[in-house]
Structure 1
Amino acid sequence: MCDTTPVMIVHGGAWAIPDDLAEASVNGVKKAVCAGYQVLLQGAAAVDAVEAAVCMLEDDPAFDAGTGSVLNFDGEVEMDAVIMDGHDLRAGAVACVQNIAHPVKLARMVMDKTDHVLIVGKGANQFAKEMRVETVPTEKLVTEEAVRELEYYRKYKSTVNSLFKTRDDVLGHDTVGAVALDCMGNLAFATSTGGISAKRPGRVGDAPIIGCGGYADSKVGGVSTTGHGEAIMKICLAKNIIHFMEQGLSPQEASESALRSMAERVSGSGGVITISNHGNVGKHFTTERMAWAWLKEGQMHYGLNPGEDFVTQYSVQ
């Protein structure tokens, strides 16, 4: 019996999104949040909704996940993804996986088909082969922008520390994610990324790490993070937000407090989206921009720049 109002929220990455990607980024998160929300309205589980939303973001070349993923220093695509069911804390993740259009689907298979949480590299691709997951050529995942970014970072030898700074900086590229609360009161999150341009081959950031790239506990709340992965890992950003919520802070207060703490302790910037087990929403970012959108009771909120909160009515697809 459904007795909880469904809520869906997504983000398209916290970074200095350039003007030529701004409209596409906002439109992308709006489409993705509608896709996930529609799943919730059909009575499906939160974990199905976040998978559907992130799959749509992975298909959109405006985002650094799936199609649109950036290139490592060797010119290869290595992707990470994670999904977690807050009902029983089951989770699945993959890292450094290659030639997969929807890494989040493979992460879901790790959760559902194995007794592991995280599978990486060749092992992840071997698992995909066993699951008969369709592979795609690298060139299908790579955009012209990804190639230009790689050339830039190779030239200037800039990597992690130049990518996710404060709102005064103009460079970066990052993760996508989703959090959902279903009509049964269960929460789930999913996060997916192509990483950062010119990263060392084999580098894994926060995205597929439980408690860092996200966390979901139906007794408390759900979180998906984005930003400077090395900084996020150092403070376990997602679990930190859950801890603040357990202490009585609202999702918004917890999100702001955790990002403030990350800036103070490790000089890291990023963004988060959060839903409490009561259906309250929080979202905050300390980068220049973050595309986000959330839906509840047929009303969509969305934005890109600091302070924005546009509202429109959702129409059933």
Structure 2
Amino acid sequence: MLIGAGVSVRSRQGPTLARRMWRHRWHYLFVLPMIVLYLLFTAWPMVASWVYSVFNWSGYGPMTDFVGLANFRDAFSDPLFWRAFRNTGIFALFAIFIQMPLSLLIAIVLNNSALRGRNIYRVLLFLPVVTTTAVVGVVFAVLLDPSGGPINEFLLSHTFLDRPVNFLGSDHLALPTVLVIDMWKGMGVTIVYWLAALQTVPAEMYEAARIDGAGRRQVFFRITVPLLAPLGLVILLLTFVTSLNAFDIVKVMTDGGPNGSTEIMQTYIYRYAFQPEGTPRFGFAAAVGILFGVAVMLMSLIPVLMRRWQQHRSEGADR
């Protein structure tokens, strides 16, 4: 009886984990290349960075000079580190408070079915996204050239300026210039996000609001914004993470200059690891990368916590 009961219990529990894995062995075989690539190029570099960060290592030869937390202390005491951190934060704030609202307004216009040629406008706005960043940087560097650049020539010929402006060579203008170009380059993705979110708003809500005599401003703030708020937090997180990937445009256009005015965390790390003035400081670059990664993870928690707070609030209102 006990043997029969044991067999019946095992039959109800189903096959063991090993048998289930063997049954789906072909599935695991097809997933194996992705797992191997992930371990080699994502998981291992993340783990290795923590090891490198506690050594004074140039990237060549064995790691023998253990320095503990000295690399982290050097980063905190470097003024250029804090400038790069501040500039990276400016990129994020610019994307959240300028790019996101502007993209929402453009998406609302493009979502209007009465707009003629709206698909053409969508393609034109999304075209910079699929354009190579290096090409964008080189083209704008030529356009903004103070000596014979088309933009300066236009402004001078129409008497808007009395002398050429060095947009990329000025400590005060370089960062705003790169910010605007980076926004123009990536704004199409945010517009697509908002367009997808606007499709979730029922058209009946707008029709009912028009029947009740609501104006455009009332419709926007009392219907569109509340219904887009849950997806807006997701778009906020995506936009925030994307804004931190400005290495390519900064590297091509200014290389962190002039005088570090456009230095961001990625160019700062790259400079010490692969483009040093003297001996490479690979361990120091790894330490800075860890600090930057921890800061990004902590800041990324803010939209998640806001989302959970919003869910708890809505659940409490339903009760």
Superposed pair shares fold, TM > 0.5: no
Higher strand proportion (structure 1 or 2): 1
Which structure has more helix as a fraction of its residues?
Answer: 2
Q: TM-score range by the shorter chain?
A: under 0.3
TM-score, normalised by the number of residues in structure 1:
0.23
For CA contacts below 8 A with separation 6 or more, give which structure has more relative contact order: 2
